[in-house]
Amino acid sequence: MEKETCNFSFCAKPAIEEIETDLLLIGGGMACCGAAFEGARWANPKKIKMIMVDKAATDRSGAVAMGLSAINTYMGENDPVDYVKMVRNDLMGIIREDLVYDLGRHVDDSVHLFEEWGLPIWKMGDDGFSLDGFQAKEAGKVMLKDGGKPVRSGKWQIMINGESYKVIVAEAAKKALETNRAATGLKTNHYERVFIVKLYNDAKDPNRVAAAAGFSVRENKIYIFKAKAMVLAAGGAVNVFRPRSTQEGQGRAWYPVWNSGSGYALGLQAGAELTMMENRFVPARFKDGYGPVGAWFLFFKAKATNSLGEDYCVNPEALAEAKAKYGKYVDNLGTAIRNHLMMRDMKLGKGPILMRTDEAMAAINKNFKEKLGDKEGAKKVKHLEAEAWEDFLDMAIGQAGLWAAKNIEPDKVPSEIMPTEPYLLGSHAGCAGFWCCGPEDLGAPEEWNKKWPAGSYNRHSTVKGLFMCGDICGASGHKFSSGSHAEGRIAAKSAIAFILDHPDYKPTIKETVDHLAAELYLPFEVYEKYKTLTTDPFINPNYIRPKMLQTRLQKIADEYFGGIGTWYMTSKTMLDEGLKQLQILKEDTSKMAASNLHELMRCWENYHRILSVEAHARHILFREESRYPGYYYRGDFDKIDDTNWKCFVNSSYDIATDKWTVKKVPYVQLVEDAAPVKH
Ligand code: SFD
Ligand code: AMP
C-alpha cells in the first residue's frame, strides 16, 4: 500500500509556533493542576519557566470535568501502611508499594488545600448526623487540617459537594501559572484546546525527551514546545473497547470519552517503559447511565443482588469455585472478584443484577425516624435524599435522564447494574501505566530509586526528563482525584530538581518544523487529495474517517482482547489473531482523513487508542495467567499462578522498528501481609 505523505499540495499549511520552556506540563487534569500548583512554588524563585498545555478548557477538562461526589482517597486517621495493604488486596497482590505508600503520606495535604480553595466538604454534625459541605460551613465546622471530622462513606472515602471540584482546582493551577509568568516574564504559559500528538527525543541523546508537538483545535496552527523536562499526565484510555452504549447512546461511558490514551501513546513512543499494562478497569455501573456505585454501597449501605434476591458475593458454591482457580485472592472480595461473582450469576441467567436503592432508602428512613422521631426524621431523610440525588447526579447526569426515561424512582424500585466495557487507567481501581522511579527513603530496592538509570528523581520515567503521574503512573492504583493531584505535585517538584541539576541542557531535535507540520496535518492532506473521488465523502476507498477507524478498533479489541462481546474472555490464539488485525489497522492509519480540526483530533485520538490497546494486548499475551478475574480471563490459563507470575510485567516500544520488548520484573514486598479478611 503506497504510504501517504503531506507536502501541503492539497491542504493549507498551518501557522507554526515554536516555544522554548524549561518545564512543560502535558494535560490539565487533576495531576497536572497539582503539578502547576507545586511547580510554581519551586520554579518561581529560580525563574524556571513552566507551561501547561491542555487539549480542552482546563476548568472543565479531564475525568473530573463533570464534578465528583466523593474524594476516594483521604487518609485522615488511617495509616498509609493500611492503605498499601488495601490497594495491594484490591489489585490482586501486585503493586509498587513504595509509590503507593509515598502517595498515602502526601495525599491529605492536597485535600486540605482543596478545602482552603473552597471545596465544600461534608462534616459530621454534633448530633452524629452528616452535614453537607454548605451546612458544615454555616455550622462553623473546623477545616480538616484543623482536625475537622469528615463524613466518611467508606474507610478511605469522604463525601463532598463536588460539582465545581475541577473548577476550584483549575483556578489554583491557573493562579500558579500567573505567578510563574510574573516571575519569568513569560507572556503566555497556559495553552488550552491544544492537542499534543507526539513527543520527540533529543537529537544527541535518544533516551532523553526534548520536544512535544501538537495542534490547536480552534485555529490552523501547530505548536512545537521544546522543554528541559516534561510532566506527562494526559489521563487513561476510553473507547478502545466496544462500549455497551450504542448509536444515540454511544457517547455515554463511565470514564471520560475525551481521555483517549494520549498519556500512554505519548510516553511509549518516546520509549518510556510501561508496567502492568495487562491490567484494566471494568467497573460495575448503573446500566446504560454508567453511574458509579461506590456511594450507594458505602454511604447508603445498599446491597446488590441477582434478580432472585440472592447476594452473589456470599454464595458458598460460587466462592469455592472461584477459590479453586484464584486462591486466597478471592477472600479479599476486591473489585475484580466482586465483578467475577456478579458475572457468574448473570451467565446462569439470574440477572439482571439489581442495586437495591429502594431498600437502602427505606432502611435510612426507618433509622432516622427511630432516632429523630417522624417529623425531624422525615426532614432529615428529605435533605439526605436531595443531597444524595443531587450529589449522585452531579457526577453522572446521564443517570437522571435514564431514570426519567424508564420511570424509575430509586427510592421505590431497584436499579440494574452491570460491568461496563474495559477502560485503561492507573488512578482508579486499575494500575496500567509507566514504570517510574520512587522515593529513596522507603527501603525499596535501589533499582527503583538511587540506581534509576535515567536519574533518581521521584516519578521519573525511564526516559530522561520525562515524569509521569495520575492515571499513567503504573502499578499504583487507588489514587483517585486527590491522589492524582498529590502525585502531580511530587512529579513537578522532581522535574524542577532535574532541571536545576542539568542547567546547561538545551533541547534539540533532528526533525525540522516542516517535517512535524506535515506529520500532524497528514489527515487533512489525505482528505483534500481524495475527497472528490466519490459522491459521498464518508465512503471513499482512498482513506478512512475517524469514526470508521474507531469502530474497527473497538471491534478488534472487543472480539479478540476480551471485551464485552466475549464476556472478557481471551487467550493466546485470540490475542495473536487480534494483534495481526491490529497491525493492518495500524498500517491503515496512514490513510486517516480529516475534514476539519475536530476530525483531525479524532484521528490522532484513535491513533493513541490503537497504541494503548496494543500495549494492553501484548501484556495480556505475555502474562500466562488470569490475574484479574472479573476484568479479563485467559481461557488457556484460567487461574492465578503466583509461582510463575507474582511479578511485574514491563514493556517498551521502539518506534523506529515498531517492535515491542516485554519482560518480567521481580515483585518486592515492602509491607507485611494484611491479616486474613473475615466475611
Ligand atoms: O468513584 C491532553 N474518579 C474519582 N475520584 C475520586 O476521588 N472520587 C470519585 O468519586 C471518583 N469517581 C469518578 C472518577 C472519575 C470519573 C471519570 C467518574 C467518577 C465518572 C477518578 C478521578 O477522576 C481520576 O482518578 C483523576 O481525575 C485522574 O487524574 P489525571 O490527571 O490522571 O487524569 P485527568 O484528570 O483525566 O486529566 C487528563 C488531562 O489530560 C488532558 N489531555 N492534553 C493535551 N494533549 C492531549 N493529547 C491530551 N489528552 C488528554 C485532558 O484534557 C485532561 O486535562 S468514582 O465515582 O468512580
Ligand atoms: P466506584 O463508585 O465504583 O467508582 O467506587 C468508588 C469507591 O468506592 C472506590 O474507592 C471503590 O474502591 C469503593 N467501592 C465501590 N464499591 C465497593 C464495595 N462494594 N465495597 C467496598 N468498596 C467499594
DSSP state letters, 447-459: GGTTT-TT---TT
Q: Are 301 and 366 contacting, i.e. CB atoms less than 8 angstroms apart?
A: no
In angstroms, what is the span from residue 293 Cα to ligand 1's centroid? 17
In angstroms, what is the span from residue 454 Cα to ligand 2's centroid? 36
DSSP bridge partners of 260:
237
Q: Can you read off the three cell numbers belonging to residue 67? A: 464534578
In angstroms, what is the span from residue 318 Cα to ligand 1's centroid? 34
Alpha carbon distance 530, 1 (integer Å)? 15
Least trusted range by pLDDT, from 117-131, 475-489, 517-531? 117-131
User: 331: buried, middle or exposed (CB in 10 Å: 19+, 13-18, 0-12)?
Assistant: middle
What percentage of the chain reaches a pLDDT higher than 90? 88
In angstroms, what is the span from residue 28 Cα to ligand 2's centroid? 25
The closest alpha carbon to 460, from 499, 511, 508, belongs to: 499
Q: List the residue whose alpha carbon is closest to atom 10 of ligand 1.
A: 70
**pLDDT tens profile 133-145:** 999 999 999 999 9
Q: In the predicted model, what is the mean pLDDT of residues 274-294? A: 95
Confidence of residue 372 (pLDDT cuts 50, 70, 90): confident
Q: Supply the pLDDT for residue 288.
A: 92
Q: Can you read off the three cell numbers belonging to residue 402? A: 435514564
Mark 560-583 as b/e (b = at least 16 C-beta within 10 Å): bbbbbbbebebbeebbeebbebbe
Angle among Cα 508, 511, 258 to the nearest 5 degrees reads 95
Q: In the predicted model, what is the mean pLDDT of residues 365-377? A: 86
Q: Supply the pLDDT for residue 250.
A: 84
Q: List the residue whose alpha carbon is closest to atom 23 of ligand 2.
A: 294
Secondary structure class of 191 (helix, strand, coil): strand
Q: Is the CB of 233 under 6 A from ligand 1?
A: yes
Mutate to test the pocket of ligand 1, among 55, 110, 391, 485 (most ligand atoms within 8 A of CB): 55
Residue type at 637 in one-letter notation? F
Alpha carbon distance 296, 286 (integer Å)? 11
In angstroms, what is the span from residue 350 Cα to ligand 2's centroid? 23
Alpha carbon distance 397, 379 (integer Å)? 25
Mutate to test the pocket of ligand 1, among 481, 597, 603 (most ligand atoms within 8 A of CB): 481
Q: Supply the pLDDT for residue 371.
A: 84
Q: Is the pLDDT of residue 386 over 90?
A: no
Alpha carbon distance 263, 269 (integer Å)? 10
Measured from the alpha carbon of residue 396, the closest ligand is: 1
Q: Is the pLDDT of residue 596 over 80?
A: yes
In angstroms, what is the span from residue 393 Cα to ligand 2's centroid? 17
Q: Is the pLDDT of residue 508 over 60?
A: yes
In angstroms, what is the span from residue 87 Cα to ligand 2's centroid? 12
Q: Supply the pLDDT for residue 374.
A: 87
Q: In the predicted model, what is the mean pLDDT of residues 568-582? A: 98
Q: Supply the pLDDT for residue 393.
A: 67
Alpha carbon distance 341, 320 (integer Å)? 11
Measured from the alpha carbon of residue 71, the closest ligand is: 1
The closest alpha carbon to 192, from 5, 86, 52, belongs to: 52
Q: Are 237 and 259 contacting, i.e. CB atoms less than 8 angstroms apart?
A: yes
Alpha carbon distance 158, 135 (integer Å)? 16
Q: Can you read off the three cell numbers belonging to residue 525? A: 492532506
**pLDDT tens profile 322-332:** 999 999 999 98
Alpha carbon distance 671, 679 (integer Å)? 23
Secondary structure class of 546 (helix, strand, coil): helix
Pairing, β 50-54 against β 190-192 = parallel
**pLDDT tens profile 75-114:** 999 999 999 999 999 999 999 999 999 999 999 999 999 9
Q: Supply the pLDDT for residue 452.
A: 98
| Preceding amide of 352 cis, omega within 30 | yes
> How many Cα atoms sit within 13 Å of 676 on the Cβ side?
6
Q: In the predicted model, what is the mean pLDDT of residues 604-626? A: 98
Looking at the chain, the number of H-run helices and the number of E-run strands are: 17, 23
Q: Can you read off the three cell numbers belonging to residue 374? A: 417522624
In angstroms, what is the span from residue 566 Cα to ligand 2's centroid? 25
The closest alpha carbon to 269, from 633, 14, 604, 670, belongs to: 604
**pLDDT tens profile 33-46:** 999 999 999 999 99
Q: In the predicted model, what is the mean pLDDT of residues 546-571? A: 98
In angstroms, what is the span from residue 305 Cα to ligand 2's centroid? 16
Confidence of residue 612 (pLDDT cuts 50, 70, 90): very high
Secondary structure class of 300 (helix, strand, coil): coil
Mutate to test the pocket of ligand 1, among 64, 66, 216, 300 (most ligand atoms within 8 A of CB): 64
Please provide the average confidence, as pLDDT, over all residues in the chain: 95
Secondary structure class of 647 (helix, strand, coil): strand
Q: Supply the pLDDT for residue 63.
A: 96
Least trusted range by pLDDT, from 6-15, 18-27, 295-304? 295-304
Q: Is the CB of 14 under 6 A from ligand 1?
A: no
Mutate to test the pocket of ligand 2, among 74, 158, 296, 297 (most ligand atoms within 8 A of CB): 297
Q: Is the CB of 471 under 6 A from ligand 1?
A: yes
Q: Supply the pLDDT for residue 1.
A: 63
Q: Is the CB of 71 under 6 A from ligand 1?
A: yes
Q: Can you read off the three cell numbers belonging to residue 415? A: 436499579
Residue type at 406 in one-letter notation? K
Q: Supply the pLDDT for residue 398.
A: 83
Q: Supply the pLDDT for residue 540.
A: 96
What percentage of the chain reaches a pLDDT higher than 70? 98
Measured from the alpha carbon of residue 481, the closest ligand is: 1
Q: Are 650 and 275 contacting, i.e. CB atoms less than 8 angstroms apart?
A: yes
Q: Is the pLDDT of residue 676 over 70?
A: no
- 3-state SS of the chain: helix, strand, coil percent to 5? 45, 15, 40
Confidence of residue 166 (pLDDT cuts 50, 70, 90): very high
**pLDDT tens profile 176-217:** 999 999 999 999 999 999 999 999 999 999 999 999 999 999
Long-range contacts, stretch 444-447, CB < 8 angstroms, 24+ apart: 444/96, 444/97, 444/98, 444/668, 444/670, 445/668
Q: Are 112 and 145 contacting, i.e. CB atoms less than 8 angstroms apart?
A: yes
In angstroms, what is the span from residue 155 Cα to ligand 1's centroid? 22
Q: Supply the pLDDT for residue 33.
A: 98
Q: Supply the pLDDT for residue 678.
A: 52
In angstroms, what is the span from residue 274 Cα to ligand 1's centroid? 20
**pLDDT tens profile 211-269:** 999 999 999 999 999 999 999 999 999 999 999 988 888 888 999 999 999 999 999 99
Q: Are 236 and 261 contacting, i.e. CB atoms less than 8 angstroms apart?
A: yes
Q: Is the CB of 34 under 6 A from ligand 1?
A: no
Q: List the residue whose alpha carbon is closest to atom 14 of ligand 2.
A: 294
In angstroms, what is the span from residue 540 Cα to ligand 2's centroid? 46
Q: In the predicted model, what is the mean pLDDT of residues 524-552? A: 96
In angstroms, what is the span from residue 566 Cα to ligand 1's centroid? 28
Q: Are 24 and 212 contacting, i.e. CB atoms less than 8 angstroms apart?
A: yes
The closest alpha carbon to 455, from 505, 495, 503, 507, belongs to: 495
Q: Supply the pLDDT for residue 677.
A: 58
Count CB neighbours of 7 within 10 A.
9
Residue type at 25 in one-letter notation? L
Q: Are 475 and 94 contacting, i.e. CB atoms less than 8 angstroms apart?
A: yes
Mutate to test the pocket of ligand 2, among 86, 157, 335 (most ligand atoms within 8 A of CB): 335
Q: State whether the Cα torsion 604-242-557-273 is positive or negative.
A: positive
Q: Is the pLDDT of residue 536 over 90?
A: yes
Measured distance between the N- and C-terminal CA atoms of the chain, rounded to whole angstroms: 59
Q: List the residue whose alpha carbon is closest to atom 49 of ligand 1.
A: 234
Mutate to test the pocket of ligand 1, among 428, 489, 605 (most ligand atoms within 8 A of CB): 428
| Closest ligand 2 atom, residue 295 Cα | 2
The closest alpha carbon to 601, from 16, 17, 53, 193, belongs to: 193
Q: Supply the pLDDT for residue 174.
A: 98
In angstroms, what is the span from residue 29 Cα to ligand 1's centroid? 6
In terms of pTM, does the model score above 0.85? yes
Q: Is the CB of 255 under 6 A from ligand 1?
A: yes
In sequence order, the 6+-apart residues with CB closer than 8 A to the CB of 179 are 40, 44
Alpha carbon distance 170, 164 (integer Å)? 10
Q: Supply the pLDDT for residue 634.
A: 98
Measured from the alpha carbon of residue 342, the closest ligand is: 2
